[in-house]
């Protein structure tokens, strides 16, 4: 009889590990935007948050801090940002391809 639910290993979570390895720390929405550009795969914001939270449970990610950011959002004037970093159970590969794409994104953003 097979177990129900998601597999313990996930390609999305592995990709998030690679992203955080090079970024050191970031929050969910920023990781979502970078994920779409770097991995060129369609993924929902809900899926990113699911894998971040599941990764915290598994020790792959840890919560560095929780920030309150003020701004003019459609739902109000502030937002809570949970800053994630790699946990003890993360085993990043240090993908050169991911590193190059992050560098490319950074240089593109500086030009804008």
Q: Any idea where the domains of the chain sit in the sequence?
A: 11-111
Which pLDDT score, from 0 to 100, does residue 12 have? Answer: 94
Which pLDDT score, from 0 to 100, does residue 23 have? Answer: 95
pLDDT above 90: residue 87: yes
pLDDT above 70: residue 3: no
Distance CA 45, CA 32 (A): 6
Which pLDDT score, from 0 to 100, does residue 112 have? Answer: 62
Q: Which two tokens stand for residue 10?
A: 């996930």
Q: What global pTM score does this model have?
A: 0.85
- Would you place residue 84 in the very low, low, confident or very high pLDDT band (cuts 50, 70, 90)? very high
Which pLDDT score, from 0 to 100, does residue 1 have? Answer: 56
Percent of the chain with pLDDT over 70: 91
pLDDT above 70: residue 27: yes
**The Cα angle at residue 42 between residues 9 and 15, in degrees rounded to 5:** 35
Q: Which fold has domain 11-111?
A: Arc Repressor Mutant, subunit A (1.10.10)
**Which range is least confidently modeled, 12-26, 27-41, 97-111?**
97-111
Q: Which two tokens stand for residue 2?
A: 């097979």
């Amino acid at each position: 009889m097979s177990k129900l639910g998601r597999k313990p290993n996930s390609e999305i979570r592995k990709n998030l590990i690679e992203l955080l390895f090079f970024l050191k720390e970031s929050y969910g929405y920023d990781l979502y935007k970078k994920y779409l550009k770097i991995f060129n795969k369609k993924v929902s914001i809900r899926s990113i948050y699911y894998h971040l939270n599941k990764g915290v449970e598994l020790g792959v990610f840890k919560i560095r801090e929780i920030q309150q950011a003020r701004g003019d959002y459609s739902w109000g004037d502030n937002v809570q940002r949970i800053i994630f970093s790699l946990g003890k159970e993360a085993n990043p590969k240090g993908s050169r391809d991911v590193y190059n794409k992050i560098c490319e994104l950074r240089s593109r953003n500086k030009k804008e």
